[in-house]
Amino acid sequence: MSEPQVKTHENFILPINVVTKIDVSRLVSEVERVDNDMTAAAVRAKSGAQQPTQPTLSEQLSEFLNQNGLKLDAGLERSTIIKELRLLKDKAPVLHMTFAVTADTESLQKLTEWVRTTVHPQAVIAVGLQPALVAGVYLRTPNHVHDFSMRGALEGRHGLLVEELEALRGSK
């Protein structure tokens, strides 16, 4: 029998509702908070002052724990998770996506799904807003930019308009 694969930041599965790097930071903070609360509760339980209670978890953290088969009961495991999540936060690939309108959560989750399916399973998105783009997205990877906006589509096509106009005048 093979040993169960040890979960590290490299094989963490990020749930679809963890979209941005800020969401990952929020996961780290929440696990740290839970770890502190549970450690304190364990100490109090040992002194007989209070029975330990299950901490309240956010939907993002619950989903993350479920998809990765992790539990926060053991202090050592919590510490490992915290360490690995910090590494994930620092090393996760980031795609900067600038939109012409405010991005809604549902659309961001669909884009995240595409990115994690196509580009990298742990990639996160940094969202920006630029109304001058009119429509589309301005995508920036570590070394390149990809202008998929309407402004970008129009910028290189002035010649076409002039040609159409001249053709129209010539036809008259």
Tell me: does residue 141 bind another protein (CB under 8 A).
yes
Among 28, 123, 128, 171, binds another protein (CB under 8 A): 123
Q: Of the candidates 5, 47, 56, 143, which one interacts with another protein according to CB under 8 A?
A: 143
Which residues 6+ apart lie within 8 Å of 92 measured at CB? 14, 21, 24, 122, 123, 124
Asked if 155 is part of the footprint of another protein (rule: CB under 8 A), the reply reads yes
Per CB under 8 A, the list member of 48, 106, 167, 170 interacting with another protein is: 106
Buried b (16+ CB within 10 A) or exposed e, 152-161: beeeeeeeee
Residues that bind another protein (CB under 8 A): 93, 95, 99-104, 106-107, 110-111, 114, 118-120, 123, 131-132, 134-137, 139, 141-144, 146, 148, 150-151, 154-155, 157-159, 161-162, 165-166
